[in-house]
C-alpha cells in the first residue's frame, strides 16, 4: 500500500482531469444527498489512464461494433462512469450529472443499460458486471475467430471492467473467473479497486483472501500496482494487453475517498455524501476551487474530448476495413452483417420442425433439441450451452463445435456447474451483440441464476433460458430437484416471457418467439417426461403459442360452460378430462396457456374470446404452486396445483400422490358446475 498521502503523479493537466472526476462525483452525490463518492474518488486515476490512453470508443456512436467494452461492475460508483461519459463527450449533458438519482434523469443510482448512452450493462447487484464481461469477451473471441481469418481488423477489442472487493466476494465472481480462465479469454482486463474498505468497515472484518493467488489458480495473469501512480497503471494495462492467453487482473491498491482529509480510507466515504464542509476541505486539498460545484475547466474538456476525434477516426478506419471486406468477400461480409445486426432468416417459421401427431409423443426437452438444431442450422449466430447438463437438457447443437481455446468458432458452450455465471455470461453475449445466446439447466436451478435473469429482464436483454425437468415430472430425483414455486416466482418478474409448452409444436413456436424477441429475456420450461403431440389439423394451430393462450379443443357446441386451463405437461390431463366430460355432456373447453405474459399483452377482446367472462366455472391445473392462478380461475374457479414440496418416486406416482390427475380435474369441474 502506498503511503497515506501519496504524491500526485502525472502532469498537472492529468491531475486536473483526475480531480475533475473526483469533484463531479462528490458534487453529484452531495446534490442527490445520496450515493457513493468514495469509489469514484479512489479509482479516478485508474479510470483516467484507461479512458484517455487505452479505451477504444467513439462517444458519438456508443453502438460502434468494434469498440472496447467498459463495465463498471462496482455499479454503486456510478458517478465515476457518468463523469467519464460526460467528460469524453457522450450525449450526457452536465445537467444530467446535476440530476443524479432524480426521477427520469439519465443518471440513476446504479448504471442502467439502455437508459444512459455508453453504459454497456446494468450493474449494482455485485458480481453481475464481473460475470457479464466474461460473456462479452466470449462473443468477441467467437467473432474474431470467425471473421478475422477472412479480414484482419474486423473484430479486435478488449473487455475492461472495474471490479471491487464486493464483486470478488460474491460467488458469481468465482464462477465467472473460473470460466474465463478456462476459456483463456486473454482480452479481458479487469482492474480491481483494492481499497481495503467495504460497507461494514475494513475488508479485514470478513475478507482475507489472497486474491492474487486465487486468480492465478483460475489461470489468470495477475499484477499489482499503486492505483494512483499513472505510470504503473499504464504499464500494467500495456502488460495485460500483451498477455493474450490469460485474462488479466490488475490489483490496484487505492485510497477510497482519495483526497478527503477526514474520510479517505474510511467506510465513511463509501456510501454517503461527504457533506459540504468535507467537500470544501477536499477540494482545497486537491487544489481546486472550493467555491465551484460541477465545475469542469475548459482544458479538462479539451483533453477528455479528444476521445471524440480519436473515436471518430478509429471508427472510420474500421469502416474502411469493413468496406474493403465487402468488396473482397461480399458473401462473408453479408454473413458478418447477419451476425452484427442480429438478422434472422425471413423463412424462420418454415424452417422450424413440424411434428406429426403422436399419442405417445416425446419429452419437450427432446423436441426442443430438434428445434434448437433446426434454428442452429438456420441462424448462424445461435450460440449456447448448458451448466454441465448438456445430455439432460438436450441442448447440444450437432456439428456446431465446442467453444473454447481449441476452437473459438464452436457454438456449443460447456458452462460448467455454474448457473449464475452462465446467466450473466448470456447477458454479456447478448449485450455484446453478434450472437444470439441461450443457456440451459434444470428449472429448479433457475434459483441459482435468478439475479442474472433479473438483469436481463430489467435491461431488455434477449437472453434465452432453457429450463428442463420442469416439475415433479422429473420423478425420482425428488423434492430438492422438483420445481414447485419457480414458475410463479419467475412469472412475478416483469418483462420475462415464461413459456411452458404443452407439446412438440408449441415448443418449436416458443423457440421461435424466444429467438425473435429483442426486448427482453425468454424462458422455456420443458419436461423430462413424454407428452403427446397433438393433432394440429384436428386441434388449434401451435402458432397460437405466440398469443400466449388459446383454445386447443373447444366445447362441442362452441359455447363452453366450463373452462379447463393448463400449461405444459398438464395440458395432457385437461385434454383427457375434457374428452370424458364431453361424453358426459359437459361443454368443456381446453385452453392451453404456454405463456401468460404474452396472453396478457393481447387485446381484451381476444382474451375474452378465449376466457369468456361469463363462464365462471373454471379449473386450472399446473404441477406448480398455485400462486397467481386466481387471476384466471376467479372467485368461481379452482386452481389445482402443489402448495407443498414434492416427493422422490417414479413420476406417475408423484402425480397421483399429489392429486394432479384427470379424475381430480373431472371431480372439481363437476363440483363447480353443480354449484353454479
Q: What is the 3-state secondary structure (H, E, C) of 234-291?
A: HHHHHHHHHCCCCCEEEEEECCCCCCCCCCCCCHHHCCCCCCHHHHHHHHHHHCCCCC
Shortest reach from residue 458's CB to its own copies, in Å: 5
- With respect to its own copies, which residue has the nearer C-beta, 226 or 647? 647
- With respect to its own copies, which residue has the nearer C-beta, 235 or 450? 450
Shortest reach from residue 142's CB to its own copies, in Å: 17
- With respect to its own copies, which residue has the nearer C-beta, 259 or 385? 385
Given CA atoms 633, 635, 637, 640 in this order, what sign does their dihedral have?
positive
Q: What are the strands of the beta sheet with 638-640, ordered from one edge? A: 550-553, 588-592, 562-566, 618-621, 638-640
| Cell numbers for 639 | 386452481
Q: Is 419 a catalytic residue?
A: yes
Q: Which of these, 439, 351, 339, lies nearest to 381 by C-alpha position? A: 339
Query: Do 74 and 126 meet the contact criterion of CB atoms below 8 Å apart?
Result: yes
Please name the helix (run of DSSP H) or strand (run of DSSP E) that holds residue 247, with its range, or none: none
- With respect to its own copies, which residue has the nearer C-beta, 210 or 298? 210
Using DSSP's 3-state secondary structure scheme, residue 662 falls into helix
Residue 220: CB partners within 8 Å, gap ≥ 6?
A: 177, 180, 181, 246, 247, 248, 249
Q: How far apart are the C-alpha atoms of 486 and 441, rounded to whole Å? A: 13
Shortest reach from residue 233's CB to its own copies, in Å: 24
Q: How far apart are the C-alpha atoms of 29 and 610, rounded to whole Å? A: 52
Shortest reach from residue 644's CB to its own copies, in Å: 5
| Cell numbers for 338 | 447477419
Shortest reach from residue 19's CB to its own copies, in Å: 25
Shortest reach from residue 156's CB to its own copies, in Å: 26
Shortest reach from residue 614's CB to its own copies, in Å: 12
Residue found by looking up cell 394432479 in the block: 660
Q: What are phi and psi of 638, to 5 degrees?
A: -130, 130
- With respect to its own copies, which residue has the nearer C-beta, 518 or 645? 645
- With respect to its own copies, which residue has the nearer C-beta, 124 or 501? 124
Query: Do 185 and 157 meet the contact criterion of CB atoms below 8 Å apart?
Result: no
Q: What is the 3-state secondary structure (H, E, C) of 294-339?
A: CCCCHHHHHHHCHHHHHHHHHHHHHHHHHHHHHHHCHHHHHHHHHH
Catalytic residue chosen out of the listed positions 120, 419, 570, 668: 419
Shortest reach from residue 171's CB to its own copies, in Å: 3
Query: Do 511 and 524 meet the contact criterion of CB atoms below 8 Å apart?
Result: yes
Query: Do 447 and 154 meet the contact criterion of CB atoms below 8 Å apart?
Result: no
Residue found by looking up cell 463527450 in the block: 89
Using DSSP's 3-state secondary structure scheme, residue 660 falls into coil
- With respect to its own copies, which residue has the nearer C-beta, 257 or 475? 475
Q: Which of these, 427, 380, 399, 432, lies nearest to 146 by C-alpha position? A: 380
Q: How far apart are the C-alpha atoms of 481 and 645, rounded to whole Å? A: 10
Dihedral in degrees, nearest 10, Cα atoms 501, 504, 510, 511: 140
- With respect to its own copies, which residue has the nearer C-beta, 249 or 322? 249
Shortest reach from residue 428's CB to its own copies, in Å: 16
Given CA atoms 24, 27, 31, 35 in this order, what sign does their dihedral have?
positive
Alpha helix stretches (DSSP H) within 50-99: 78-88, 94-98
Q: Which of these, 89, 35, 38, lies nearest to 59 by C-alpha position? A: 89
Partners of 384 in the beta sheet? 412, 438
Please name the helix (run of DSSP H) or strand (run of DSSP E) that holds residue 55, with its range, or none: none
- With respect to its own copies, which residue has the nearer C-beta, 17 or 185? 185
Q: What are phi and psi of 8, to 5 degrees?
A: -65, 140
Residue found by looking up cell 445537467 in the block: 95
Residue 519: CB partners within 8 Å, gap ≥ 6?
A: 460, 462, 495
Shortest reach from residue 634's CB to its own copies, in Å: 5
Shortest reach from residue 542's CB to its own copies, in Å: 27
- With respect to its own copies, which residue has the nearer C-beta, 172 or 375? 172
Query: Do 540 and 550 meet the contact criterion of CB atoms below 8 Å apart?
Result: yes
Query: Do 129 and 166 meet the contact criterion of CB atoms below 8 Å apart?
Result: no
Residues noted as catalytic: 419
Amino acid at each position: 500500500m502506498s503511503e497515506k498521502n501519496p504524491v500526485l503523479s502525472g502532469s498537472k493537466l492529468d491531475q486536473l482531469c483526475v480531480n475533475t472526476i473526483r469533484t463531479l462525483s462528490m458534487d453529484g452525490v452531495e446534490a442527490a444527498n445520496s450515493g457513493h463518492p468514495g469509489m469514484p474518488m479512489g479509482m479516478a486515476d485508474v479510470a483516467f489512464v484507461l479512458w484517455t490512453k487505452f479505451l477504444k470508443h467513439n462517444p458519438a456512436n456508443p453502438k460502434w461494433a468494434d469498440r472496447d467494452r467498459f463495465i463498471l461492475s462496482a455499479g454503486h460508483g456510478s458517478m465515476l462512469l457518468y463523469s467519464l461519459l460526460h467528460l469524453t463527450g457522450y450525449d450526457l449533458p452536465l445537467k444530467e450529472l446535476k440530476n443524479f438519482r432524480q426521477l427520469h434523469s439519465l443518471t440513476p443510482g446504479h448504471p442502467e443499460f439502455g437508459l444512459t448512452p455508453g453504459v454497456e450493462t446494468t450493474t449494482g447487484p455485485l458480481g453481475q458486471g464481473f460475470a457479464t464481461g466474461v460473456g462479452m469477451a466470449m462473443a468477441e473471441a467467437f467473432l474474431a475467430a470467425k471473421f478475422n481469418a477472412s479480414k484482419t481488423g474486423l473484430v479486435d477489442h478488449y473487455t475492461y471492467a472495474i471490479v471491487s472487493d464486493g464483486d470478488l466476494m460474491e460467488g458469481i465472481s468465482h464462477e465467472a473467473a473460473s470460466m474465463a480462465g478456462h476459456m483463456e479469454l486473454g482480452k479481458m482486463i479487469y482492474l480491481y479497486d483494492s481499497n481495503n474498505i467495504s460497507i461494514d468497515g475494513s475488508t479485514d472484518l470478513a475478507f482475507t483472501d489472497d486474491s492474487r493467488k486465487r486468480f492465478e489458480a483460475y489461470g489468470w495473469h495477475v499484477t499489482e500496482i499503486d492505483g494512483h501512480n499513472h505510470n504503473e497503471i499504464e504499464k500494467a494495462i500495456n502488460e495485460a494487453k500483451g498477455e493474450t492467453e490469460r485474462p488479466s487482473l490488475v490489483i490496484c491498491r487505492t485510497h477510497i475517498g482519495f483526497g478527503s482529509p477526514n474520510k479517505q480510507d474510511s467506510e465513511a466515504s463509501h456510501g454517503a455524501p461527504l457533506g459540504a464542509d468535507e467537500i470544501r476541505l477536499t477540494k482545497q486539498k486537491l487544489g481546486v476551487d472550493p467555491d465551484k460545484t460541477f465545475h469542469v475547466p475548459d482544458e479538462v474538456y479539451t483533453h477528455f474530448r479528444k476521445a471524440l476525434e480519436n473515436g471518430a477516426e478509429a471508427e472510420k478506419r474500421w469502416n474502411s476495413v469493413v468496406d474493403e471486406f465487402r468488396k473482397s468477400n461480399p458473401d462473408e461480409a453479408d454473413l458478418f452483417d447477419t451476425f452484427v445486426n442480429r438478422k434472422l432468416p425471413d423463412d424462420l417459421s418454415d424452417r422450424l420442425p413440424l411434428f406429426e401427431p403422436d399419442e405417445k409423443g416425446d419429452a419437450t426437452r427432446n423436441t426442443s433439441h430438434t428445434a434448437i438444431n433446426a434454428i442452429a442450422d438456420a441462424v448462424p449466430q445461435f450460440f449456447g450451452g448448458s451448466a454441465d447438463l448438456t445430455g439432460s437438457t438436450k441442448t447440444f447443437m450437432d456439428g456446431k463445435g465446442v467453444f473454447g481455446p481449441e476452437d473459438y468458432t464452436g457454438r456449443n458452450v460447456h458452462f460448467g456447474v455454474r448457473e449464475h455465471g452462465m446467466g450473466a455470461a448470456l447477458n454479456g453475449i447478448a449485450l455484446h451483440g453478434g450472437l444470439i445466446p441461450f443457456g440451459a439447466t434444470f428449472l429448479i436451478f433457475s434459483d441459482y441464476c435468478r439475479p442474472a435473469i433479473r438483469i436481463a429482464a430489467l435491461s431488455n436483454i434477449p437472453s434465452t433460458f432453457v429450463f428442463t425437468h420442469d416439475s415433479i415430472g422429473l420423478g425420482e430425483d425428488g423434492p430438492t430437484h422438483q420445481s414447485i414455486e419457480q414458475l410463479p416466482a419467475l412469472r412475478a418478474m416483469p418483462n420475462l416471457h415464461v413459456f411452458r409448452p404443452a407439446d412438440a409444436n408449441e415448443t418449436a413456436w416458443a423457440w421461435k418467439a424466444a429467438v425473435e424477441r429483442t426486448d427482453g429475456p425468454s424462458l422455456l420450461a420443458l419436461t423430462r417426461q413424454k407428452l403427446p403431440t397433438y393433432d394440429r389439423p384436428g386441434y388449434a394451430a401451435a402458432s397460437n403459442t405466440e398469443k400466449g393462450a388459446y383454445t386447443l379443443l373447444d366445447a362441442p357446441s362452441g359455447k363452453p360452460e366450463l373452462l379447463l386451463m393448463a400449461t405444459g405437461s398438464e395440458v395432457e390431463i385437461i385434454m383427457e378430462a375434457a374428452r370424458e366430460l364431453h361424453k358426459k355432456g359437459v361443454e368443456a373447453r381446453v385452453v392451453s396457456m404456454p405463456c401468460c405474459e404474452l396472453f396478457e399483452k393481447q387485446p381484451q377482446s381476444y382474451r375474452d374470446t378465449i376466457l369468456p367472462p361469463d363462464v365462471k366455472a373454471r379449473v386450472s391445473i399446473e404441477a406448480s404452486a398455485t400462486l397467481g392462478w386466481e387471476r384466471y380461475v376467479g372467485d368461481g374457479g379452482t386452481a389445482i396445483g402443489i402448495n407443498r414440496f414434492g416427493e422422490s418416486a417414479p413420476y406417475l406416482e408423484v402425480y397421483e400422490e399429489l392429486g394432479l390427475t384427470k379424475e381430480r380435474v373431472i371431480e372439481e369441474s363437476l363440483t363447480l358446475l353443480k354449484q353454479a
